[in-house]
Amino acid sequence: MIEVRSFASLGHADHGWLNAVHHFSFANYHDSARMGWGALRVWNDDTIASQSGFPPHPHRDMEIITFVRSGAITHQDSLGNKGRTGAGDVQVMSAGTGITHAEFNVEDEPTSLFQIWIETDRQGDAPRWGQREFPRETRAGRWEVVASSLPEADDALLIRADAKVLAATLKAGETIALPLDPQRHQYLVAVGGEIDANGQRAASRDGVAITGEALLTVTALADTELVLVDSR
């Protein structure tokens, strides 16, 4: 089963400094048919204005992955971690027993990013934060795992969930395939250009909800970047 969820049908909140689009129910946006997909609970498509951001706020028992599409985000938390994550790179926060963090765009341009929340398999663990550069050229024409419950095997950032986050960049006309477990759930978003996913067309920033498929074949109809979550 593949369901394409058009960008126009998603939740939206414009706070001035933050223009947020919600693939699943979040904050003041509620859709009982879109409460999550497998262990994936949140996929927010955020644009943060220059010199603004999220003031300190707490999280608990959630895996939070930030995939920066353009610009950069600067993180600071109650554990003393501080770091800047630039375009194409990824940061991961395991909220565990509790963590307070702030995220600001201190750049002179807007920052666009995906913020992805996945339900943890290990409640009550100590909180942690990690960041890593993932040069876009290393995933040209292929899938690259950027976050995983098996970080050594996948050469990726650790998340405490039975899930993986993958990314790829494709030129127009290129096709890539990904074997899938039909019992699991996948959620795919393309940025920059239209794609064909197992015969279903999706525009830039549409959501593609997948389950029951043994193979995903994606063809780029224009240059595009792909981000996919695979979860139980």
User: Strands 157-158 and 144-148: what pairing?
Assistant: parallel
Structure tokens belonging to residue 223: 């240059």
Tell me which amino acid residue 26 is.
Answer: F
**What does the pLDDT look like over 130-157, one tens digit per residue?**
999 999 999 999 999 999 999 999 999 9
User: Strands 195-197 and 200-202: what pairing?
Assistant: antiparallel
Structure tokens belonging to residue 174: 């290129």
* Average confidence score pLDDT of the chain: 98
3-state secondary structure of 146: strand
Concatenated DSSP letters of 28-48 = TB--TT-S-BTTEEEEEEEEE
Q: How confident is the model at residue 174 (pLDDT cuts 50, 70, 90)?
A: very high
What is the pLDDT averaged over residues 22-46? 97
- Neighbour tally for 115: CB within 10 Å: 20
Q: For position 193, what pLDDT does the model report? A: 97
Gap between the Cα atoms of 104 and 53, Å rounded: 4
- Neighbour tally for 94: CB within 10 Å: 22
Ordered strands of the 195-197 beta sheet: 175-179, 215-220, 195-197, 200-202
Gap between the Cα atoms of 180 and 42, Å rounded: 21
What is the percentage of the chain residues whose pLDDT exceeds 90? Answer: 100
Gap between the Cα atoms of 72 and 93, Å rounded: 16
pTM over 0.95: yes
Q: For position 154, what pLDDT does the model report? A: 97
**What does the pLDDT look like over 94-112, one tens digit per residue?**
999 999 999 999 999 999 9
Gap between the Cα atoms of 120 and 98, Å rounded: 13
Q: For position 138, what pLDDT does the model report? A: 96
Gap between the Cα atoms of 5 and 83, Å rounded: 34
**What does the pLDDT look like over 16-32, one tens digit per residue?**
999 999 999 999 999 99
What is the pLDDT averaged over residues 184-198? 98
In angstroms, the Cα distances linking 25 to 31, 58, 126, 186 are 6, 19, 27, 17
Gap between the Cα atoms of 45 and 54, Å rounded: 15
Q: How confident is the model at residue 77 (pLDDT cuts 50, 70, 90)?
A: very high
Q: How confident is the model at residue 214 (pLDDT cuts 50, 70, 90)?
A: very high
What is the pLDDT averaged over residues 30-59? 98
Quote the CATH superfamily of domain 2-231: Jelly Rolls (2.60.120.10)
136: left (phi over 0), alpha (psi -120 to 50) or beta: alpha
Question: What angle (nearest 5°) sits at the alpha carbon of residue 124, between those of residues 122 and 130?
Answer: 70
The DSSP 8-state label assigned to residue 107 in this structure reads: S
Q: How confident is the model at residue 194 (pLDDT cuts 50, 70, 90)?
A: very high
